[in-house]
Amino acid sequence: MTVLLEVRGLVRRFGGLIAANNLSFDVVEGELHALIGPNGAGKSTAIGLISGEQRPDAGRVRFDGADVTALPIAARVKAGMTRSFQITSVLPDFTALENVALVYQVRAGHSFRFWRPAAGERALLEPAGAMLARIGLGGRADVPARDLAHGEQRQLELAMALATGAKLLLLDEPMAGLGTAESQAMTDILAGLKGHTTILLVEHDMDAVFALADRITVLVYGQAIASGTPKAIRGDPAVRDAYLGEDA
């Protein structure tokens, strides 16, 4: 088992609020690792520190064997770490296929201004089409992003994140705003990625978390109070008391 992500002693303060309090955990290559906790536990802060959107006051982040604590977002993406679902990132006037092809174009080092001529290049469109098929949007390739349903836009964002070549995918509440059927569809898609892409998942849908996760880390007040398999987390008295409740 190879550790892909190491979080060690992260501290992040916002005035008198400690959003990350000596936070430490690991993510193993190939696993789906869920980060859960009550509102205000510091989950989004943790993802921000890992992705480079925030800087820690103390501690370090190691990714794929290298210390990336001081690296900007772009350098972390280049190294293979991609965050998705923080904001809507699709281009509404472009088709689903064009949105994903654009990621492949940027990944190849071409400037955005060359997009229109490149839209006809098979080297971009073929992998883009394959990626859409992989996440269940193969039949919606020619639909403008603005005309996709909300759940389909979330799927498109996932396809774009995967097109970056991510070794580690940071998913921030992918089920947010989805209906029951859409949530199940997203759960099925993520289940299909397990073992192929390492995923750190922040999610409030506990049914999805316990169905998907290989391991779960529980945050309370910015600190990891437990980390283990779903079965171990369900049975942990401290977790039940702090978060899951007696009916977990």
pLDDT tens digits along 163-189: 999 999 999 888 888 899 999 999 999
Please name the residues in contact with 102: beta carbons below 8 A apart, sequence gap of 6 or more: 91, 94, 112, 115
Confidence of residue 1 (pLDDT cuts 50, 70, 90): confident
* Weakest-pLDDT range from 54-58, 87-91, 134-138: 87-91
Confidence of residue 20 (pLDDT cuts 50, 70, 90): very high
Kindly tell me if the per-residue pLDDT of 231 is higher than 60.
Answer: yes
Question: What pLDDT, in 10s, does the model give residues 117-168?
Answer: 445 577 889 999 999 999 999 999 999 999 999 999 999 999 999 999 999 9
User: What pTM value is reported for the model?
Assistant: 0.89
Q: What is the pLDDT of residue 114?
A: 47
Average pLDDT (58-87) is 90
Distance from C-alpha of 180 to C-alpha of 130, rounded to nearest angstrom: 26
Give the tokens for residue 204. 């409030």
Q: Report the alpha-carbon angle 156-160-161, nearest 5.
A: 115
Please name the residues in contact with 225: beta carbons below 8 A apart, sequence gap of 6 or more: 218, 219, 238, 239, 242
The percent of residues above 90 in pLDDT, for the chain, comes to 71
Q: What is the pLDDT of residue 247?
A: 44
Kindly tell me if the per-residue pLDDT of 199 is higher than 80.
Answer: yes
Distance from C-alpha of 159 to C-alpha of 133, rounded to nearest angstrom: 9
**Looking at domain 1-80+166-248, which of 3.40.50.300, 1.10.1740.10, 3.40.50.1980, 2.30.40.10 is its CATH number?**
3.40.50.300
Which sign does the torsion angle of CA 178, 182, 187, 189 carry?
negative
Is residue 58 within 8 A of residue 9, CB to CB? The reply is yes
Residue ranges covered by each domain of the chain? 1-80+166-248, 90-165
Q: Tell me the CA distances in angstroms from 228 to 49, 164, 242, 246, one per residue in order.
A: 22, 29, 16, 19
Average pLDDT (91-97) is 93
Higher pLDDT among residues 42 and 110, named by residue: 42
| pLDDT, the chain, mean | 89
Kindly tell me if the per-residue pLDDT of 217 is higher than 70.
Answer: yes
Pairing state between β 66-67 and 58-63: antiparallel
Helices (H) and strands (E) in the chain, counts: 10, 10
* Weakest-pLDDT range from 33-42, 84-93, 213-222, 230-239: 84-93
* Weakest-pLDDT range from 71-75, 155-159, 242-246: 242-246
Q: What is the pLDDT of residue 245?
A: 60
- The burial class, CB within 10 Å (0-12 / 13-18 / 19+), for 93 is exposed
Start-to-end CA span in the chain (Å): 29
Q: What is the pLDDT of residue 39?
A: 87
Of 82, 46, 48, the closest CA to residue 64 belongs to 82
Of 236, 211, 212, 210, the closest CA to residue 224 belongs to 236
Average pLDDT (101-113) is 74
Distance from C-alpha of 31 to C-alpha of 154, rounded to nearest angstrom: 21
In the sheet with 66-67, reading across from the earlier edge strand, the strands are 17-28, 3-14, 58-63, 66-67
Confidence of residue 68 (pLDDT cuts 50, 70, 90): very high
